[in-house]
């Protein structure tokens, strides 16, 4: 496995662990029962996938906006 793949796998695991912790905290603070590990892992995985999807979509929007601003600026010159 390449170093980049290892880094991506490591980062995804860290994201999943963080999401798991946040879910557990939220459930505990709301006084709800914490589900079994398999359910918690599945929920954390869904949260991470959704967050990454949103970040990727917003990132494209930001790049498109920046490109538009740069082209407008160049036209003014």
In this predicted model, what pLDDT tens digit does every residue of 31-45 receive, in sequence order?
999 999 999 999 999
What's the pLDDT band for 77 if we cut at 50, 70, 90?
A: low
CA–CA separation, 17 and 61 (whole Å): 28
Task: Supply the pLDDT for residue 64.
Answer: 78
Alpha-carbon distance 60 to 23, whole Å? Answer: 28
User: What is the pTM (predicted TM-score) of this model?
Assistant: 0.71
Would you give the DSSP letter of residue 30?
T
Torsion of CA 19, 25, 30, 36, to 10 degrees: 70
In the chain, the number of structural domains is: 1
Q: Residue 2 pLDDT more than 90?
A: no
Contact assessment for residue 46 and residue 19, using Cβ atoms and an 8 Å cutoff = no
**What is the extent of the structural domain holding 65?**
3-76
Give the mean pLDDT of 53-75. Answer: 80
DSSP state of 31: T
Q: Which pLDDT score, from 0 to 100, does residue 66 have?
A: 78
């Amino acid at each position: 496995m390449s170093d980049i793949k290892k880094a991506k796998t490591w980062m995804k695991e860290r994201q999943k662990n963080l999401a798991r912790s946040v879910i557990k905290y939220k459930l505990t603070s709301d006084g709800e029962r914490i589900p079994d590990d398999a359910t918690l892992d599945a929920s954390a995985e869904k949260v991470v996938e959704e967050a990454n999807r949103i970040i990727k979509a917003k990132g494209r929007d930001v790049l498109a906006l920046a490109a538009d601003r740069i082209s407008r600026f160049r036209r003014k010159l």
